[in-house]
């Protein structure tokens, strides 16, 4: 039987990598999109899977559109990757963040439960739920203490997923993913903001880069590795929750050093710390322990942070170079 996947957030970084992975495995693919603007499909196009996906118009905040999407796609697996995913914006738009990241999860769980309860369900949870961490490495038993409206909203989505699994016996799993990046990352996130700036500075289009808290530490992995973990979770007999991380933490400052030096630049000559870019409450340090994912799923990260950042700088050098030629 052909497997059929419905992916919310298909136009985002993870949606594109997941679509590429599932296409390679022979899945029939359906993607929920809020608007059918051609621009937003650039990631699917870049990975060569644009034509492989049937797009269904809908929105996580519109329950009726989700019923229609599930009825149209008849999915064997649903991956809920759709979100207001930028932590920084969640203070300016806390209610929208909660609508999409919390109520949106209830909506898609309800649509699946009532239309196709046998469908396997993946929820994109986040290491931001750990927030104010007190231990050296976070795993599935670490207490949550979110530090942003985003973190709070994701925690509600996470618990709704656990609750639907326990209440209705749904095959619903939650991946607690630590930061994961790629050349397809949005420019609002710090890694891509840095690698794009490196390319622009190197090519003479920009001279400085303004950043906020450069002492923050994150556990950065490659998105392409992380979507494999999502898929593996839904192939298990039993649904469960898993931390997905590399176990290595790097400061934003060190990340800048690696990215700038790859282009032969010294970050200290270009990076300016701007207090206006500090968050009202930040997460100072995240480092995941993915031992359970390794033991149960056989998953482990393949890409370390320096390789990842260099690939992102290279991709941005090509992109910015093309802009210049155009
Ligand atoms: O790249 P960031 O915006 O990612 P953040 O907030 O950790 O969230 C990302 O990872 C989560 C997983 O843990 C996801 F759930 C979430 O959707 C998103 O993908 O910021 C990383 C760190 C923060 O401490 C931030 O304060 O970098 C610091 N930072 C310093 N200057 C900056 C900047 N972040 C951004 N975006 N822009 C800056 O100029």
Does 129 contact ligand 1 (Cβ within 6 A)? no
Amino acid 39: pLDDT: 56
Give me the half-sphere count of Cα atoms (radius 13 Å) on the Cβ side of residue 72. Answer: 17
What local confidence, expressed as pLDDT, does residue 135 receive?
81
pLDDT in tens, the chain (326 residues): 899 999 999 999 999 999 999 999 999 999 999 875 555 899 999 999 999 999 999 999 999 999 999 999 999 999 999 999 999 999 999 999 999 999 999 999 999 999 999 999 999 999 999 999 988 999 999 999 999 999 999 999 999 999 999 999 999 999 999 999 999 999 999 999 999 999 999 999 999 999 999 999 999 999 999 999 999 999 999 999 999 999 999 999 999 999 999 999 999 999 999 999 999 999 999 999 999 999 999 999 999 999 999 999 999 999 999 996 66
**Alpha-carbon separation of residue 240 from 50, 205, 208, 286 (angstroms):** 31, 48, 45, 22
Of 17, 79, 122, 150, which residue is the catalytic one? 150
User: Tell me, what's the pLDDT at 19?
Assistant: 98
pTM of model > 0.85: yes
271 lines ligand 1 (CB under 6 A): no
Widest distance between CA atoms in the chain:
58
∠ CA 278-279-282, rounded to 5°? 110
Q: Which fold has domain 186-218+248-286+303-325?
A: UDP-galactose 4-epimerase; domain 1 (3.90.25)
Could you confirm whether 242 is annotated as catalytic?
no
Name the CATH superfamily for 4-180+220-244: NAD(P)-binding Rossmann-like Domain (3.40.50.720)
Q: Is 147 in the pocket of ligand 1 (CB under 6 A)?
A: no
**Is 186-218+248-286+303-325 the same fold as 4-180+220-244?**
no
CB atoms within 10 A of CB 145: 14
217-218 vs 250-251, strand pairing mode: antiparallel
- Distance, in Å, from the CA atom of 211 to the CA atom of 262, rounded to the nearest integer, reads 19
pLDDT for the residue numbered 38: 57
Ligand 1 atom with the smallest distance to the CA of 283 is: 24
User: Do strands 180-181 and 77-80 pair parallel, antiparallel, or not at all (unpaired)?
Assistant: unpaired
Q: Is 253 in the pocket of ligand 1 (CB under 6 A)?
A: no
Using DSSP, state whether 81 is helix, strand or coil.
coil
Using a 6 Å cutoff on CB, does residue 252 contact ligand 1? yes
Tell me the CA distances in angstroms from 289 to 21, 137, 187, 191, 220, one per residue in order. Answer: 24, 6, 27, 21, 13
Burial of 199 from C-beta contacts in 10 A (0-12 / 13-18 / 19+):
buried
pLDDT of res. 326? 65
Domain map (residue ranges) of the chain = 4-180+220-244, 186-218+248-286+303-325
Q: Tell me which residue has its CA closest to atom 10 in ligand 1.
A: 179
Annotated catalytic residue within 90, 126, 153, 173: 126
Q: Is 145 a catalytic residue?
A: no
């Amino acid at each position: 039987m052909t497997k059929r996947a419905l992916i919310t957030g298909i136009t985002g970084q993870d949606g594109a990598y997941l679509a590429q992975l599932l296409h390679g495995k022979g899945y029939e693919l359906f993607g929920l999109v809020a608007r059918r603007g051609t621009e937003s499909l650039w990631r699917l196009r870049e990975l060569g899977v644009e034509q492989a996906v049937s797009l269904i118009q809908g929105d996580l905040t519109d329950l009726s559109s989700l019923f229609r999407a599930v009825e149209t796609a008849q999915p064997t697996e649903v991956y809920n990757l759709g979100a207001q995913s930028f932590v920084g914006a969640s203070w300016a738009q806390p209610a929208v963040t909660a609508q999409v990241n919390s109520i949106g999860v209830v909506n898609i769980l309800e649509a699946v439960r009532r239309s196709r309860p046998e469908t396997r369900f993946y929820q994109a949870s986040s290491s931001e739920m750990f927030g104010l961490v007190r231990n050296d490495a976070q795993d599935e038993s670490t207490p949550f203490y979110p530090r942003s409206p985003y973190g709070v909203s994701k925690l509600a989505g996470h618990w709704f997923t656990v609750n639907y699994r326990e209440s209705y016996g749904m095959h619903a799993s939650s991946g607690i993913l630590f930061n994961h990046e790629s050349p397809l990352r949005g420019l609002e996130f710090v890694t891509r903001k840095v690698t794009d700036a490196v390319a622009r500075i190197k090519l003479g289009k920009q001279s400085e880069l303004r950043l906020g808290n450069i002492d923050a530490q994150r556990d950065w992995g490659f998105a392409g590795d992380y979507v494999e973990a999502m898929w593996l979770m839904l192939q298990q007999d039993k649904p469960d929750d898993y931390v997905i991380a590399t176990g290595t933490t790097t400061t934003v400052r060190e990340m800048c050093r690696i990215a700038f030096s790859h282009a032969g630049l010294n970050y200290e000559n270009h990076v300016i710390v701007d207090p206006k870019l500090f968050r009202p409450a930040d997460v100072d340090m995240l480092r995941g322990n993915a031992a359970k994912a390794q033991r149960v799923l056989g998953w482990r990260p393949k890409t370390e942070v320096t390789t990842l950042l260099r690939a992102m700088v290279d991709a941005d050098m090509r992109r910015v170079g093309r802009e210049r030629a155009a």
